[in-house]
Structure 1
Amino acid sequence: MVLKLTNWDNNFAVKGDEEYQALVRTLNFIEGFGLLFVRCSPAEGERIITKVKEDIKDKSIEVLRLDKSVNNLYEIIEKLNNKESINFLFVTGLHSSFYEYEECKILNGWNSKDIYSYSWKGVPPVLINLNQQRESFRDNFNICFVFLLPQFAIKYFIQRAPDFFDWRSGMFEFPIDPETLKQETSRIFPAGDYEKYTTLTAEERNREIITIQELIVEDHQTVSLKSKLMLELGNLHFIEQDYKGAIYAYNEAIKIKNTFCEAWHNRGSALLILGQYEEALASFDHALKIQPDFDESWDNRGTILLILGRYEEAIASYDQALKIQPDDYELWNNRGNALFNLGRYEKAIASYDQALKIQPDKYEAWNNRGIALFNLEQYKKAIASYDQALKIQPDDYELWNNRGNALFNLGRYEKAIASYDQALRIQPDKYEAWNNRGNALFNLEQYEETVASFDQVLRIQPDNYKVWNNRGNALFNLEQYKEAVASYDQALRIQPDNHEAWNNRGNALFNLEQYKEAVASFDQALKIQPDNH
């Protein structure tokens, strides 16, 4: 992200007014074709053009302003009607042709090191064209070209248009003065609001990224503002989901200012998304050493500990965050999840209740509360929670399935089946609901429908031995003993040491009066469970 200057960069000419006078002397000296490069900001470039027009009145001076990406600069100049009479052609905005290229690199999967270390894998089309047509520029245009460019664009010429750049007649640098630099840098921070960045297009974000990079390497940049710029650079990459690039920028910000709490926090957030939990945890811990009341760091720290199964520590982190933000729904809900995983269902329900006082229209907390009540075997209350969730999210498969399970445990099988049917209308390929529905139908002694439900399960999960066994039981109750034996055989191919399937198979064979085979099946069952009489 910080651009390392080459030795050539350090040999720029004198600054300020002396630099401008050197440029004017060079312009007065050049007759015919020439190439001049001026490193400056766009605003400074316009001031230079205005002043040159005032100071050199005996020459024809024109300006070519490029406000969009171009591939062939030669063609554009060739089409100028007055090209024969132009002495000096100032070209601004050529760097616009590089913004789109920056975006292409990201879209093509370049890594951050390749993008920001100038280890180019390719070349912007306009530079290829300039390299190829440099002789045509010299032979066909009796013009001195003055390219006004920011530093990143100059580097493109050095790295990827060396043939064209080597013909330069002069190189001039106009660094931003300290006061203007401070103003330009400060402009970034109001726009640095995360939400505002999300509204930018990819190309607009690339422009912002390059602008920040330019400001970082300016001669008069302060250490304090440089660290803030690095933070903004990281935030832009974070929005682009370039988390490695974001971490690189946050690391640079921290190198400049080790006590930069926000950089530590954002670094942790990027690491969390990448699944680097221990390193993310360390980042949040750094942030909290600097700013102990940073509630987002406590929250994210709790989330990592929850993922890592360190539930007690997660609860402690959420409690710290809730001291600062007691009305945060997510904190109460996540705290409930940690308590749930510890089997502390009543306390989990109390957390979910707090979450729902804050946001009563959040179906996740109602669902979580229902699951906790289910585990406490408070099925009626669980159903009431699921019903609240379904008012908010009526098309949620899991809610309908969970509600069906609660009804099943209350022995209300017909209503349970109705819930499973709703679940299956939403996601017809979910084997759990088909299986649960089959079990409910079995308890209602609707065996043919039971077999049909289990067949749906086996279409999705053909190696589910329990379902093959249960299907065999339904067929047994239909007195379809041969089909039942076939189902038990399928179960035993998958799980050959299943005592229940061998025993059930023996019963079916017994009813088929195949007594020897029945005895053999019972013997297999007894080998597995010899104490089962």
Structure 2
Amino acid sequence: MLFDCPTPAIVMNAAAYSISGVNQKLYSRLKTSLQLNLRRQIFLAVCDDLELRSYLVAQLQTALRSPRFVSLNLNLSDPNPMAQVAQWLSQHGNSPDTSHSPGFQILGIEHLTRQPAPVQKRFLTHLQAIEYYLPGIDGTIVLWLPRPWLRSLQQSAPAFWDWHTALFEFEGDPAPLRNISQARLSSDRTLDSAIAPLPMLPADHYTDHSSLSQPPPAPVLPLYCPEPFTESLLEAAPIEESIWDMLTYDLAQLDAGDPPRNEATPKIPLTLREQNSKLKTSFTSTSRLTQQILAALTQEPALAEHQTALRTLQQIDQLLEQRAAPKTIAAAYRELGRLYQNQLEQGNPSPETLEVAIAVHEKALEWLQDDTLQWVDGANDLGNLYWMQSHNAGADAGATKLQQQLSSLQKAIHIYTLALDKTTPQANPHTYTMIQNNLGSAYGDLAHYQDPANNLLKSVEAYESALHSTLRYCDPQENTARNAATQNNLGTACWNLAQHQQPIARLNQAIAAYHAALQYYSPNSEPMHYAMIQNNLGTAYWNLAQHLKPNPNLNLAHSIVSPTRLLQLAIAAYHTALNYRTLDTVPTSFAATQNNLGTAYWNLANLKTTAQNDRKQQLQQAIKAYEAAIAAVEALSAQTEHRPALTFDVFATYNNLGLSYYQLASDRHHSLTPPQRQTLLEASLTQHLQALQGWEPRSDFYQTTLDYITQTTRAFHSEFGIQGQTLALSKIPANLLPEVMRKL
């Protein structure tokens, strides 16, 4: 059976949806390649961001137009895309309005993740037989794949891989992984690409940096949050054929029970609202779940899943009346849960849909009490849904909403813990490891609400348990991506815990975890993951350097445990990350790492053990890095009306850059001409004034920056007398002059 989808499942306003420059370039290349309409071309398009993927699919469909370009959903019952294309051609042939064979894009491959292993194997086997199908296909084919399936294709269908013409790897626009409602249910979501803000530098630049007034930067958020619904956890119990027929009831039969019509009277199709009204009036069950779905249908009348769910509940009611076996009823509820999981995978789940999905999974667990293995799997899925609910803040972020988020997070932790009580790493190592990972992420989130030290400690313990289970009971090579993610998550949890207790021990533990994570990634095959962990490693080295005192013995200043050596290691890690985090590929990540690099150089320049000649060079490197970060942000800002979403405070970067210029200008160990010194002081003043625009007047950052402006103005007076001070004051906005004059 063919599944045509000329219009993608997600319809977005193209004018309101923008994609990054690199993705736009890739899309243009893909579209141009398809427009050439060369014979027997096979393109692979990789995109883990389902919303972005749907947007690109819709753009291609609009640009190339049917019947010249056809979208087909993969038939999951027999996943053979080549046969589907051949069948479409046999039924339609070449359209009369086009002189060449149409092109095709195959969608829905990501849904194979939740199919049984034999179905997945059939898909790869069909691709492997490409030489059998290719002679009958003259046009082009685009396969839209998530990244894990690309790796599977390379390994398990080498013949197909050898035939492919080009690979287009799209990236989801960098966004904090904590805004991951849609990523939560995709199989291998891309990572958050930049670290959190670095603090402003201390006012007294001659002190060592254990006196930082603000907490140091957090590494990137965990690469993997609680596990998505995976194939092993979503294999429902065998369902009797009659139940399956009921659960796949065709919505086209909605009005099948209507009285016979006069053949002479034309049948007027029901509108969507009329169909919904008909469902509500004809469905008489008063169960809580039914009422929830009816309420959700009121909020989302166009969501077909709600309509199908009501019909499914009618069948479940019949099963209850017939006293069907608990396992059969549980399977029906689990199939209903899978219906909503498909919708949640599309991203941005509504509160109503999440509520219904949670209620369905809770019902399934009620009927799975005697089946421990399936109960554990279902509990993990339910915990994932509660976790998603805790992140689904919506527009209201008030106290009530925060309490609801906290409650959902606590429920997720509770259900994960119950699931762990019913399994062991020996009996089910894969599931046990996955739930421990989920629990570690949930405890890490809970630390943002309450008792941070204790909850972060529990997060660390959960990740350690996951790693212990993997190393002892699993093949380490079986799932290297998950192992790397767990090591990265452990490193991040240890980093956060170091901000509350045992900083040196926990930071050393974080460094060890990041090094372990690097063992799983090749910079050639996974450059962005590799760069992210290098960035995290640099931040951990930087942070550890703040907790160690410089050794006054210059011969020992560069030892492995000295701040000097740690900052050098941080700088090396940031440079390695920047080999892959480039301005063209991931500009926001590039800017964040450049900001971190600048601060590491600044810290190194201001250590008491740093030689004067080295100090000047390191300040110049700090200036170079800060300017690169600011230039990237300004370039991104020029492309949109608003400043791009960043994971660091660019106004702190302006301030740090100004302080670096000031230090170069005030350094008496290097001879500078008066014009050179004046240029540096003017640059310092300009950057501090720029920083001042980003903060509220009464904030600590604002007042600190104002002190820097006053300090620079005094330096103008010291160097150039009253004329120099007049020059500085002429550059300060009039509204600031009274306050600066008082400080002077």
TM range (shorter): 0.5 to 0.7
Alpha-carbon distance between aligned partners in 1 of 2:629 and 2:300, rounded to the nearest angstrom: 54
Task: Quote the Cα distance in structure 2 between the aligned partners of 1:457 and 1:284.
Answer: 45
Say which of 440, 448, 453 aligns to 2:687.
Answer: 453
Deviates more, 1:474-483 or 1:397-406: 474-483
* Match of residue 414 from structure 1: 620
- 1:371 aligns with 539
Q: Is the contact made by 2:251 and 2:308 (CA closer than 8 Å) also made in structure 1?
A: no
The structure-2 alpha-carbon separation of the partners of 1:489 and 1:230, relative to structure 1 and needing over 3 Å to count, comes to same
Change (3 A) 1:42 1:322: closer
Counterpart in 2 of 1:436? 656
**Per-residue deviation at 1:316?**
1.5
Alignment of 1:248 onto 2:372:
no
Amino acid paired to 1:314: S
| Deviation at residue 427 of structure 1 after TM alignment | 2.0
Q: In the alignment, which residue of structure 1 is the partner of 2:316?
A: 216
Query: How does the TM-score come out when normalised to structure 1?
Result: 0.56
Matched residues in 1 for 2:490 and 2:377: separation? 24
Residue type of the alignment partner of 2:623: I
* d(CA) in 2 for partners of 1:487, 1:226: 73
SS at structure 2 position matched to 1:291: coil
Please list, as runs of the form range in 1=range in 2, the aligned pairs for 1:38-117 lying within 5 A after superposition: 67=252, 80-81=263-264, 98=275, 114-116=291-293
Aligned letter for 1:401?
N
1:384 counterpart residue number: 572
Q: Which residue number in structure 2 is paired with residue 425 of structure 1? A: 631
Name the aligned partner's letter for residue 532 of structure 2. Answer: E
* 3-state SS of 1:447 partner: helix
Say if 1:434 and 1:456, in contact at 8 Å, map to a contact too: yes
Give yes or no for the alignment of 1:299 onto 2:413: no
- The corresponding residue for 2:165 is none
Query: 3-state SS of the aligned residue for 2:424?
Result: coil
Offset of 1:234 from its aligned partner?
3.0
Corresponding residue number in structure 2 for 1:232: 335
Aligned: 1:345 with 2:507: yes
Does residue 336 of the first structure (1) align with residue 491 of the second (2)? Answer: yes
The separation in 1 between residues aligned to 2:294 and 2:604, in whole angstroms, is 66
Q: Please say if residues 299 and 317 of structure 1, whose CA atoms lie closer than 8 Å, have aligned partners that are also in contact.
A: yes
**Contact 1:216–1:226 under 8 Å retained in 2:** yes
State the 4+ residue runs in structure 1 displaced beyond 6 angstroms: 40-44, 91-97, 99-103, 484-489
- What is the CA deviation profile of residues 401-458 of structure 1, one whole-angstrom value per residue up to 9, with x for unaligned ones? 0011111122212221121122112223621211111111111211101111111111
**Does the CA contact (< 8 Å) of 1:465 and 1:492 recur in 2?**
no
Instruction: Tell me: CA distance 1:296–1:43, structure 2 relative to 1, closer, same or farther (3 Å).
Output: closer
Any conservation in 2 of the 1:68–1:97 contact (CA below 8 Å)? no
The separation in 2 between residues aligned to 1:408 and 1:478, in whole angstroms, is: 23
* Residue pair 2:296, 2:306 contacting (<8 A) in 1 also: no
Partner SS for 1:231: helix
Residues in 2 aligned to 1:357 and 1:481: alpha-carbon distance in whole angstroms: 56
What is the distance in 1 between the residues matched to 2:261 and 2:733?
Answer: 82
Would the alpha carbon gap of residues 257 and 431 (structure 1) be closer, same or farther in structure 2, given more than 3 Å must change?
Answer: same
The answer on whether the counterparts of 1:67 and 1:96 sit within 8 Å (CA) in structure 2 is no
Partner Cα distance (2:433, 2:244) in 1:
41
Distance 1:93 1:254 in 2: 37
- Kindly indicate whether residue 560 of structure 2 is the aligned counterpart of residue 322 of structure 1: no
Q: Deviations over 1:372-410 (max 9, x none)?
A: 111122112111211222223222121110011111122
Deviation, structure 1 residue 217: 2.4
Three-state SS of the structure 2 residue aligned to 1:359 is coil
Deviation at 1:99, TM superposition (A): 7.0
**What residue identity is the alignment partner of 1:263?**
G
Larger deviation, residues 445-454 vs 352-361: 352-361
Conserved? CA contact 1:404–1:420, under 8 Å = yes
SS at structure 2 position matched to 1:460: coil
Q: Work out whether residues 297 and 306 of structure 2, in 8 Å CA contact, stay in contact via their aligned partners in 1.
A: no
The 1:96/1:67 distance shift into structure 2, 3 A limit, reads: farther
Q: d(CA) in 2 for partners of 1:123 and 1:306?
A: 33
Q: Aligned ranges for residues 474-513 of structure 1 at < 5 Å?
A: 474-479=712-717, 480-481=724-725, 508=744
Partner of 2:13: none
Query: 2:707 maps to what in 1?
Result: 469
**Aligned with residue 415 of structure 2, among 280, 283, 286:** 283
Distance 1:384 1:353 in 2: 14
Evaluate the alpha carbon distance shift between residue 69 and residue 227 of structure 1 in structure 2; reply closer, same or farther with a 3 A threshold: closer
Structure whose CA Rg is larger: 1
- State the identity as a percent: 18
After superposition, the C-alpha distances for 1:269-319 in whole angstroms (9 at most, x for unaligned) are: 111222222221110011111123322211111112222232222121112
Q: What is the distance in 1 between the residues matched to 2:279 and 2:537?
A: 48
* Matched residue SS, 1:265: helix
Give the number of aligned pairs: 345
> In terms of mean alpha carbon deviation, does 400-409 or 322-331 score higher?
322-331
Deviation at 1:96, TM superposition (A): 11
Determine helix, strand or coil for the equivalent of 1:444. Answer: helix
Q: State the alpha-carbon separation in 1 of the partners of residues 364 and 539 from structure 2.
A: 44
The residue type paired with residue 388 of structure 2 is I
Looking at structure 1, the residues matched to 516 and 487 of structure 2 have their Cα atoms a distance apart, in angstroms, of 6
Equivalent of residue 267 in structure 1, options 375, 382, 399: 382
Q: How far has the Cα of 1:369 moved from its partner?
A: 0.6
Distance 1:68 1:424, change over 3 A: farther
Structure 1 residue aligned with 2:208: none
Change (3 A) 1:348 1:491: farther
Structure 2 CA distance for partners of 1:400 and 1:252, relative to 1, 3 Å: same
- The 2-side partners of 1:286 and 1:41 are apart by 30
Taking a change above 3 Å as real, the CA distance of residues 354 and 442 of structure 1, as seen in their structure-2 partners, is same
How many Å apart are 1:505 and its aligned residue? Answer: 5.7
Specify the code of the residue in structure 2 equivalent to 1:251. Answer: E
For 2:580, the aligned partner's letter is I
Which stretches in structure 2 are left out of the alignment for 5+ residues? 1-241, 281-287, 391-407, 426-431, 472-479, 546-565, 606-617, 635-642, 644-649, 666-679, 718-723
Q: 1:291 to 1:477 in 2, by over 3 A?
A: same
Q: Which amino acid aligns with 2:574?
A: Y
Question: Counterparts of 2:694 and 2:300 in 1: how far apart (Å)?
Answer: 51
SS at match of 2:660: helix
For the 8 Å contact 1:305–1:313, the answer to whether it is kept is yes
Structure with the largest fraction of helix? 1
Call closer, same or farther: CA 1:439–1:452 in 2, change over 3 Å: same
Residue 443 of structure 2 aligns with an amino acid whose one-letter code is: L
CA RMSD, Structure 1 to Structure 2 (Å): 4.3
- CA distance in structure 1 between the aligned counterparts of 2:365 and 2:435, rounded to whole angstroms: 16
| CA distance 1:467–1:491, shift in 2 (3 Å) | farther
Q: Which amino acid aligns with 2:421?
A: K
Q: What are the superposed Cα offsets for residues 321-373 of structure 1, whole Å, 9 maximum, x if unpaired? A: 11333441111011111211222212111101111111243133211111011
- Shift of the 409–113 alpha-carbon distance from structure 1 to 2, 3 Å rule, reads farther
| One-letter identity of the residue aligned with 1:442 | Y
Structure 2: distance between partners of 1:355 and 1:279: 30
The CA deviation at 1:487 is 9.2
Corresponding letter in the other structure for 1:384: A
Q: 1:489 to 1:319 in 2, by over 3 A?
A: same
| Aligned CA distance change for structure 1 residues 475 and 245 (closer, same or farther; 3 Å) | same
